[in-house]
Structure 1
C-alpha cells in the first residue's frame, strides 16, 4: 500500500510560492518568453528543479511550452488570475495603457507601487528610453519600508489619522539604526503629501533617482496605489508640466473611472 505523501514544511512551501512568482515576474516587454536556462541564470536556481517547476506550471495552465524552441510563455489564464474584485482600470487593462502612454510621452520610466503591510512594493515597472542606470535592476516585487520613498509617504497619507501615528512609530522602531527618523517630521511630511495630492522626492529601493508620485484614483484606503515617473534628482524637470501630462493621460486612459475626491489624485486637477 502506497504511503501518503509527506507534507512539505512551511518553509519549503514558501520557497516554492516565491519561485512561482519569480517565474511569472520574469516575463515583460523585453522578455515575452523564457527557457529554463534563462530562469536559471536570472535567479541562480538549480536547473533540474527549475525545469520541474515550469513543467508543473504548464500542467496548471499557467505557462505554455513551444516544443520546437523549448521556450515558455504565460497563458491568458495567468493574465486573468486575480483580476476579479480589482478596480476597473486593472480589470480592463486601462492601467497598462496609462503606463505605456506616459512612457511614450515623457521618455521616463514609470512604476506602480502599493502598500504591503508597512512596506512599499513595486507592482509594475516600465523602463523608459531615458531610464537611469541606477534603476535598471528595479522590477516588480521589490519592497522596502514605506517611509523611505515619496510614493510610500503618499500612500501612508491614506491611513486614517487615528492609526497613522502608531504606524509611523512602528516603522521607526523597525528601521535599522542608519534609517531611524524623527516621527514628528515624517508625520508632517505625510500630512502635507496627502493635502497636496502629489509628491516629488526619492523613489527609494536603493536608487538615487527621484520621482513624481500621485495616488491612483478611487482606491480603497487599505489598498492605495501610487503612480510614479522616475528621473534624476538634478535633471531639469518641471513639476507643473508633469502634472499637466499625467492629468491629461489619466483622463484619456481612465475615462470610465468614477469621479474622485480632489484630495486624492491629480486625475481631477484643474
Structure 2
C-alpha cells in the first residue's frame, strides 16, 4: 500500500497530467477519454474529474457528458506572464480596474446554484477594516448577488425558472427566497440596461455593480463587478459602470 505522501504525490501528478492532456488536445473530454488515454483507473478518473469540477477548474456538459477546463485554470499562472498580457486578459482587466478605482473588483462564474468569485482584487490594508473582505473562491447566492444576477441574465427564462426553484428549495431562510416573477422582471431590466446592481443584499455593508462578459461557447458565462461600501458604490455607480463597459469593449 502506498504511503500518504506517495498517494498525495500521485494525486498531484495526475492533476497536472490531466491539465496537460487538455492543453494538448484542446477539446472537451469524457471520463472514458481520460481512462483510455492516461491509463488511470475508472474510479480514480471519476473522482479526479468531479473534484476539479466542484472546485470550478473544470466545467461539465450534462448532454455530452464531457469536461472542459474553465477560465480559472488559465488564471492560475497568468500573473507569471504579466508582461505578455493582451487587452483581453481578464486578470489584467481586474487589476487595472482596481488600480483605477481602489474598489474591490470581482470576476465570477456560476458554480451550480451559486456564483463563485474566481478572481478578486482588493486592497490588502482593508482586510482588517472590512467584515466583507472577499477571498478568491468565495461563493455567493446566484439569484441575489449582483455578479450572480449578471450571469443569470444570459440564460433563457425556462432555465432561469428551473435554477430558481432549485435555489429556493435549498434556501433555509424564507426571506431569502426569490419569486419567479421578481427574478424574470429583474432579468429583463438587466438585459435592457446591461448591468446588475445590488446594495446590502448579501452583505448589509456593501454592494456591487456588475456586467456580463461575452464569452466563448465552450467556457462558462462570467461576469465582472466592482464592489464597495453602499454609499461609496452609489456615489460612484456611473463612473464604475463606465469603467466596466470600457474594460469589456474588446470582448464585444
CA distance in 1, matches of 2:186, 2:139: 21
* DSSP-derived class of the 1:181 partner: coil
**Any unmatched runs of 5+ in structure 2?**
25-56, 59-67, 79-83
CA distance in 1, matches of 2:178, 2:12: 49
CA contact (8 A) 2:102 2:123 kept: yes
Q: TM-score, normalised by structure 1?
A: 0.57
Q: Match of 1:244?
A: 242
Q: Match of 1:223?
A: 220
Does 1:144 pair with 2:140? yes
CA distance in 2, matches of 1:186, 1:106: 30
**Any unmatched runs of 5+ in structure 1?**
7-48, 64-76, 261-270
Larger Rg: 1
4+ residue stretches of structure 1 with deviation over 4 A? 80-87, 89-93, 129-132, 203-207
Q: TM-score, normalised by structure 2?
A: 0.61
* DSSP-derived class of the 2:231 partner: coil
Q: 1:162 aligns with which of 142, 158, 164?
A: 158
CA contact (8 A) 1:146 1:156 kept: yes
Q: Deviations over 1:121-166 (max 9, x none)?
A: 1111111378560222x21222233112111112111111232222
Query: Would you say how many aligned residue pairs link Structure 1 and Structure 2?
Result: 191
* DSSP-derived class of the 1:223 partner: coil
The CA RMSD over aligned residues, in Å, is 3.9
In the TM superposition, 1:1-270 aligns within 5 A as: 5=1, 52=5, 56=9, 60=13, 94-128=89-123, 131=126, 133-136=130-133, 138-178=134-174, 179-202=176-199, 206=203, 208-220=205-217, 223-235=220-232, 237-251=235-249, 254=250, 257=251, 260=252
Q: Deviations over 1:201-234 (max 9, x none)?
A: 1486656310111111234497111111111112
How much does 1:106 deviate?
0.5
Identify if the C-alpha distance between structure 1 residues 62 and 160 changes in structure 2 by more than 3 Å, giving closer, same or farther. Answer: closer
CA contact (8 A) 1:203 1:209 kept: yes
